Amino acid sequence: MTTTTTPSPAGHDWHQANLWFDSWDVAEQTAIAHIGPALGQAEAEGLITGWWFTRKDLCWHLRYRPLCGTARGHLDELFGDLAARGAMGRWAWTLYEPETHAFGGPSGMRVAHTLFHADSRHLLDHLAHNGDRHRTELSLLVAGALLRGADQDFYERGDVWARVAAHRQASRAPTDTEISRVHQLATARPALEGTSTWTVAFQEAGAALAALAHEGDLIRGLRATLTHHVLFAWNRAGIPADRQALMAQAGADAVFHRRPPQRRSRESARQANTTPLR
């Protein structure tokens, strides 16, 4: 059953629903099996033109952009059905407040919304077909694609990793093996089947942000904006905070505490994409 409803203000393109679940696993499985496919179908039918989500512990924030007045009623029916089956708890319609400054201003926020939609769709599709396999590895691949698209050099990438690490408290220092592994993944071209369009979305977002920065159209620094994108992507992927801290610190250490890497062969790059990260 819904709580008190609050309409979105006039002219606001994106609407938000908060969804509560009994557990982390139930939330993810419900999104994979029901919410993601239903939103994809609503998009195909012309009810909405985009959607994405963020995880807030047991409450997911779902954002969508309606194309017609029946979109909200359609989602109310979906949520009511899921609640009746015990797949989710309550839900509430609330106001969406975009983090416009964090993502570089209005132009940067438009880039962010496009990427959020692509990432949400690809992530749920990957989890539906592959389960939990390669979750960490893919998170590093897409982050690397974002930085590659933004044309960040070796030390600029290291600066982004250091900024991400500053937002997360690591319980220990990464090992040399972990540093090498993270660097390989973060600089690799994707070889995993079905990931190419996913990483392309991140690469295109990075390029778009770099172009905005070059023209003075970002109200925040490019690397600060990229850092926020990495944090959002890793949260959306469900990477635990302690693992995020380790990944980011390893990425920074690979740049600032080791010699620049030598050029790798195509075979070593392929192996970097397929060997699990421990």
Mean pLDDT per 10-residue section of the chain, whose length is 278 residues:
40 87 97 98 96 97 95 96 96 97 97 98 96 92 97 97 96 94 87 73 98 98 99 98 97 83 53 52
161 in a domain, yes or no? yes
162-192: string of b/e by CB count within 10 Å (b at 16+)? bbbbeebebeeebeeebbbbbbbbbbbebeb
Same domain, 58 and 141: no
Same domain, 40 and 177: no
Tokens of 130: 């592959």
CATH no. for residue 83?
3.30.70.600
Q: Whose CA is closest to 30, among 59, 5, 50?
A: 59
Same domain, 154 and 89: no
Same domain, 244 and 221: yes
158 in a domain, yes or no? yes
Same domain, 225 and 184: yes
CA dist 41 and 37 (Å) reads 6
How many structural domains does the chain have? 2
Same domain, 90 and 185: no
Same domain, 74 and 200: no
| CB contact at 8 A, 19 and 93 | no
| CB contact at 8 A, 127 and 36 | no
| Residue where one domain finishes, among candidates 71, 94, 117 | 94
Tokens of 237: 């992927």
pLDDT in the model for residue 182:
95
| Residue where one domain finishes, among candidates 59, 94, 129 | 94
Same domain, 186 and 259: yes
pLDDT in the model for residue 11:
32
Provide φ and ψ at 57, rounded to 5°. Answer: 60, -120
| Residue where one domain finishes, among candidates 94, 121, 153 | 94
32 in a domain, yes or no? yes
4 in a domain, yes or no? no
101 in a domain, yes or no? no
Quote the domain boundaries for residue 113.
Answer: 106-274
8 in a domain, yes or no? no
Same domain, 161 and 232: yes
100 in a domain, yes or no? no
Same domain, 187 and 245: yes
Same domain, 147 and 186: yes
99 in a domain, yes or no? no
